[in-house]
Amino acid sequence: MSEHRHFPKKSSIPTRPVDRFGMSVEEDSLRASVSDPLRIHTVITFGTFDCLHRGHVRIFERVKRAFPHARLVVGVSSDALNCSKKQRAPIVSCADRLYMCSCVRYVDSVFTEESLELKAEYCKMHAADLLVMGDDHLGRFDWVTEATAGRCAVAYLERTPHISTTSIIEKCSDSL
């Protein structure tokens, strides 16, 4: 007899302790970074997502907790883009990274990001109201709001401490 596992639907988000207003401090600050949180229907984020880890998933989760009714669209950097911005090929192929990101329950759709300079175009293409990036990019994509005529706000989330793709790769290399 085969074993069956039940996985929660994408729309069911587990609960966690919250403040008296029903939000964690992180979610509240993300919502506060937007002038009208109720107008957020689509949130977009970008990354390489090589060696997908809990830090990546936490970004998706925090977005969905702050904007539970919004679509989350994830742009996954192409192999060529990753080589140009990080001077190394990704460990995991773009096709596999797209697949893994699409399997995360917080993510509604994924696409391949071919160029950093096209961020505003991707935001327009996906009708994004909010671009969310890690705070390691703080200020780097503020230009997107102007390039989208104010349609897409930009917010930065604090990185998850003690985890990064680079540290995973280094740990794997050290163990060889």
Positive or negative torsion for Cα 10, 101, 129, 22: positive
Alpha carbon distance 114, 111 (integer Å): 10
The bridge status of strand 130-134 relative to strand 109-113 is unpaired
Mean pLDDT of 110-122: 96
C-beta of residue 42 within 8 angstroms of C-beta of residue 127 = yes
- pLDDT tens-digit profile of 69-115? 999 999 999 999 988 988 888 889 999 999 999 999 999 999 999 99
- pLDDT tens-digit profile of 124-173? 999 999 999 988 889 999 999 999 999 999 999 887 766 665 665 666 66
The bridge status of strand 130-134 relative to strand 42-47 is parallel
CATH number of 25-174: 3.40.50.620
- pLDDT tens-digit profile of 52-69? 888 889 899 999 999 999
- State both tokens at 174: 């050290």
- The pLDDT assigned to 174 comes to 67
Q: Within 13 Å, how many C-alpha atoms sit on residue 165's CB side?
A: 16
